[in-house]
């Protein structure tokens, strides 16, 4: 990539020095910051679906069985967070029934399977139940999809 931004570097370096971005260096606090952001995204997702359930109390507007999709996404979050990075890489000693590395990869695969499944289910419910029939209000369908999107984003934030 040499040569692409060579002519812009004096121009950009002058503005970079004025911004003083060195105080935002978070390399050693990456785990803390990503945990806080993931927790906030997870909380906002559940806050949206609770708000939707309160605003639409009847099952004709918002069927309460759709909350199961968010529960499966939350289960995926718990499964992903139960695996340490060292166990996934194989840095720890000790063997399980299938070996520590293979068992952690199986659990991680199942967790991401639940996460992708819940995201796809949220999109399916939004499209089939609310958008195609032009059902009013449309907010419950958007809330289901947003909840699962935020939980999925909080899950993938750990593995950056």
Q: Where along the chain do its domains lie?
A: 30-159
Looking at residue 40, what is its pLDDT? 95
Is the pLDDT confidence value at 158 over 80? no
pLDDT for the residue numbered 11: 59
The SS3 of residue 137 is coil
Alpha helices (H) along 20-138: 30-55, 67-81, 85-89, 100-125
pLDDT for residue 111 is more than 90: yes
* Residue 134 pLDDT greater than 60, yes or no: yes
- Given a cut of 90, whether residue 10 has pLDDT beyond it is no
Closest alpha carbon to 115 in 61, 65, 79: 79
């Amino acid at each position: 990539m040499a040569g692409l931004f060579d002519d812009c570097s004096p121009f950009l370096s002058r503005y970079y020095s004025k911004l003083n971005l060195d105080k935002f260096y978070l390399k050693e606090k990456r785990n803390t910051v990503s945990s806080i952001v993931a927790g906030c995204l997870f909380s906002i997702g559940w806050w949206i679906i609770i708000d939707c359930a309160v605003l639409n109390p009847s099952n004709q507007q918002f069927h309460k069985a759709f909350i199961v999709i968010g529960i499966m996404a939350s289960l995926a979050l718990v499964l992903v967070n139960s695996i340490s990075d060292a166990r996934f890489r194989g840095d720890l000693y000790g063997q399980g029934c299938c070996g520590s590395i293979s068992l952690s990869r199986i659990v991680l695969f199942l967790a991401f399977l639940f996460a992708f499944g819940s995201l796809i289910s949220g999109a399916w419910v939004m499209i089939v139940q609310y958008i195609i029939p032009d059902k009013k209000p449309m907010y419950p369908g958007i809330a289901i999809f947003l909840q699962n999107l935020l939980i999925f984003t909080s899950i993938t934030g750990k593995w950056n």
